[in-house]
Amino acid sequence: MKKTLRFVPLFACLTLLASCGGESTNTSNTGASSSQDTTVDFDTTQEITPLTRDTNSGTREAFFGHIDLEDAASDDSLLTTSASVVASNGDMISNLATDEYAIGYFSFDSITSATDEGVKVVSFEGVTPSEDTIVSGEYSLTRHFNYIVRNDFGGDSVKETIVDAFVAYMGTAEGLNIIQTNGGVVDPETINNAPTWAEISANYPGISDDHSDVTINFGGSTSVEEIARQLSASFSTLAGNFIAHHDHTGSGAAYSGTQGDDAGTLDIGFLSREFNDSEVPAENTSGVICTDAVIIGVNEANPLTNITADQCHNIYALDGTIDTWDDILG
């Protein structure tokens, strides 16, 4: 009897634990559902939590470049002290989905996953971001994805031909289609007018020879990585199965790896931003791949639907005048 009695508190503890677990999952559920149906719950007197990417991000540079905060791209001291840094596009989206009072920006290719997670896309200057508005230029918060190739191949003419042909391939109908399906924004008109690979392959004699012993090094921006991988995979089959080696660390590596301090470590580099003052590519070694847009998002509980560049500036800038959601939604 005593022995069985001894287990009573144990069972009590276990049920308590179980109920705790149940409760916590409950709260997370109700949290999600309550944020779905409500503009009522949204407390506009709360302070805004501006989320930003880190100083090495191309998205950050593009965003701040459009809201009159260019210098803040690489300098946190110009930002409001209530801002928080997130490490990646994915982090940005999950943070926006969790925090009702946050605002942030992310790349256009994540727009579907963002809305799935519970992030609301906000119009910028009255224009809703979509492929059409981005192509037409109405949605102005855009940036280019750029490429840069080596200017000196050290006499390796085979490599040079493949790289040249790859750059041309990015401008063909096949290439542009791949870019588009992987999140890049391309004008449909451009795709229609673009030549096919079959039409231009004759410009690169010997391109379809066996190149299975040639390694081409791709690198640079992580935002462009998916596009680059798909392009190289499909082009490799057209150009003698060369080996495509991808090492994407960030936009900064694109110039330094091809023509800068570490020239030669990359054959082709990609940037999710424009070249800066210290990165001057040699003639005919760089260009635009496609357009990407920066999307401003808030939590889906937030009633905000439109924001202007000026409002963004005042939210993010150190001397900005917008602190609470009342200041915008007012």
- Contact string 233-272 vs other proteins (x = CB under 8 A): ----------------xx-xx--x----------------
Q: Please identify which residue in the block is written with the tokens 């287990």.
A: 7
Residue 321, classed as helix, strand or coil, is: coil
Residue 99 binds to other proteins (criterion: CB under 8 A): yes
Cβ atoms 212, 243 nearer than 8 A: yes
Residue of the chain from 16, 17, 54, 132 that contacts other proteins (CB under 8 A): 54
Tokens of 83: 């801002």
Residue 24 binds to other proteins (criterion: CB under 8 A): yes
Q: Please identify which residue in the block is written with the tokens 């942030």.
A: 104
Tokens of 266: 């990359």
Longest distance between any two alpha carbons in the chain, whole Å: 93
Minimum Å distance from CB 306 to other proteins?
A: 23
Residue of the chain from 15, 19, 27, 237 that contacts other proteins (CB under 8 A): 27
> What is the rounded distance in angstroms from the CA atom of residue 181 to the CA atom of residue 217?
23
Residue 98 binds to other proteins (criterion: CB under 8 A): yes
Dihedral of the alpha carbons of 257, 218, 58, 126, in degrees to the nearest 10: 150
Q: Please identify which residue in the block is written with the tokens 């969790």.
A: 98
Minimum Å distance from CB 24 to other proteins?
A: 5
Tokens of 257: 């790896």
Minimum Å distance from CB 72 to other proteins?
A: 9
* Residue placing its CB nearer to other proteins in the complex, 127 or 263: 263
Minimum Å distance from CB 3 to other proteins?
A: 8
> What is the rounded distance in angstroms from the CA atom of residue 286 to the CA atom of residue 131?
25
Neighbours of 192 (CB within 10 A): 9
Minimum Å distance from CB 62 to other proteins?
A: 14
* Residue placing its CB nearer to other proteins in the complex, 240 or 250: 250
Residue of the chain from 86, 163, 194, 307 that contacts other proteins (CB under 8 A): 86
Neighbours of 201 (CB within 10 A): 18
Residue of the chain from 100, 109, 174, 300 that contacts other proteins (CB under 8 A): 100
> What is the rounded distance in angstroms from the CA atom of residue 217 to the CA atom of residue 246?
6
225-238 and 173-181 helices, crossing angle to 10°: 150
Residue 78 binds to other proteins (criterion: CB under 8 A): yes
- Contact string 194-223 vs other proteins (x = CB under 8 A): ----------------------------x-
Residue of the chain from 55, 181, 212, 321 that contacts other proteins (CB under 8 A): 55
Cβ atoms 290, 279 nearer than 8 A: no
* Residue placing its CB nearer to other proteins in the complex, 159 or 248: 248
Residue 46 binds to other proteins (criterion: CB under 8 A): yes
| Nearest Cα to Cα of residue 279 among 185, 151, 167, 169 | 151
Question: Which residue stretch of 70-78, 130-138, 187-195, 281-289 sits at the interface with other proteins (rule: CB under 8 A)?
Answer: 70-78
Interface residues with other proteins (CB under 8 A) are 6, 10, 24-25, 27-28, 31, 43, 46-47, 49, 52-57, 71, 74-79, 81-88, 94-95, 98-102, 222, 249-250, 252-253, 256, 277-278
